């Protein structure tokens, strides 16, 4: 399914296509900067770095804690055993989602660094060609009727397959350059028994993110009727969980 190797205190996971290329340097943004291969960045809770190497354009993301705990522990997590780390679980989940044929970024590699009772982590995923998040689009223009339907259908497809996303929001739903919908950032995600309760909670979280970003941004082309159309398409595509 994937390759695993240990180098001192580091455990590296890699997609079989890239296992012979991966080294510790791949997880160092400064290394890519020195090589002149950084091609972009995106700021969220922390900076995600885009680099281009050979024919691969990829995204390097470090794991940072959020909330009040994050202000104290920043990027440190209690080590629960390799297979229970957030890094390992996200990488394995994304490998599984790719094998299921779902629109997620291909996982390239991940690193878990253990020091005593704590660990830190990084993950590299393939960049999505021409990616624009829903927020990026809404800052420029309104979503079309076709796009709203595509989004609803895409989320329903994931939910019908039991794919739970821990933080479904408009920054984590993207269009690629041909207009297909992708979902990213599966930290703390999982495949679970299909049930209306968590599906509804996912959609409620997504709706909150629309309102939250509308309050943050001076210009955002979004209205309640857009949600009604998106949710209608989602409900139509969703298999009954009763």
Active site annotation includes 122: no
**Tens place of pLDDT for every residue, the chain, 242 residues?**
899 999 999 999 999 999 999 999 999 999 999 999 999 998 876 789 999 999 999 999 999 986 544 444 689 999 999 999 999 999 999 999 999 999 999 999 999 999 999 999 999 999 999 999 999 999 999 999 999 999 999 999 999 999 999 999 999 999 999 999 999 999 999 999 999 999 999 999 999 999 999 999 999 999 999 999 999 999 999 986 54
Q: Which of 28, 75, 136, 167 is catalytic?
A: 167
State the CB neighbour count (10 A cutoff) for residue 61.
23
Contact 92, 85 (CB under 8 A): no
pTM for the whole thing?
Answer: 0.94
Q: 3-class SS at 14?
A: strand
**Residue 74 to residue 53: CA distance in whole angstroms:** 29
**CA-to-CA distance for 45 and 108, rounded, in angstroms?**
22
Over the stretch 198-230, which tens digit does the pLDDT of each residue have? 999 999 999 999 999 999 999 999 999 999 999
Contact (CB, 8 A) for 107 and 93: no
CA 126 to chain CA mean position, Å: 11
- Provide Rg for the chain, Cα atoms: 18
């Amino acid at each position: 399914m994937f390759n695993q190797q240990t180098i001192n205190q580091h455990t590296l996971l890699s997609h079989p296509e890239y296992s012979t290329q991966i080294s510790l340097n791949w997880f160092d943004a400064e290394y890519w900067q020195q090589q002149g291969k950084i091609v972009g960045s995106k700021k969220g809770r922390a900076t995600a770095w885009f680099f281009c190497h050979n024919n691969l354009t990829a995204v390097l993301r470090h794991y940072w804690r959020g909330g009040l705990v994050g202000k104290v522990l920043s990027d440190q997590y209690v080590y629960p055993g390799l297979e229970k780390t957030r890094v390992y679980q996200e990488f394995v989940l994304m490998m599984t989602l790719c094998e299921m044929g779902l629109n997620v970024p291909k996982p390239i590699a991940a690193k878990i660094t253990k020091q005593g009772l704590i660990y830190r982590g990084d993950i590299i995923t393939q960049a999505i060609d021409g990616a624009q998040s829903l927020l990026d689009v809404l800052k420029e223009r309104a979503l079309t009727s076709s796009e709203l339907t595509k989004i609803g259908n895409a989320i329903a497809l994931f939910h019908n397959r039991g794919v739970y996303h821990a933080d479904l929001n408009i920054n984590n739903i993207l269009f690629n350059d041909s207009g297909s919908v992708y979902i990213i950032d599966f930290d703390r995600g999982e495949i679970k028994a299909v049930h209306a309760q968590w599906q509804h909670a996912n959609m409620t979280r997504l709706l909150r993110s629309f309102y939250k970003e509308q309050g943050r941004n001076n210009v955002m082309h979004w209205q309640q009727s857009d949600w009604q159309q998106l949710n209608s398409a989602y409900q139509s595509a969703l298999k009954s969980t009763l």
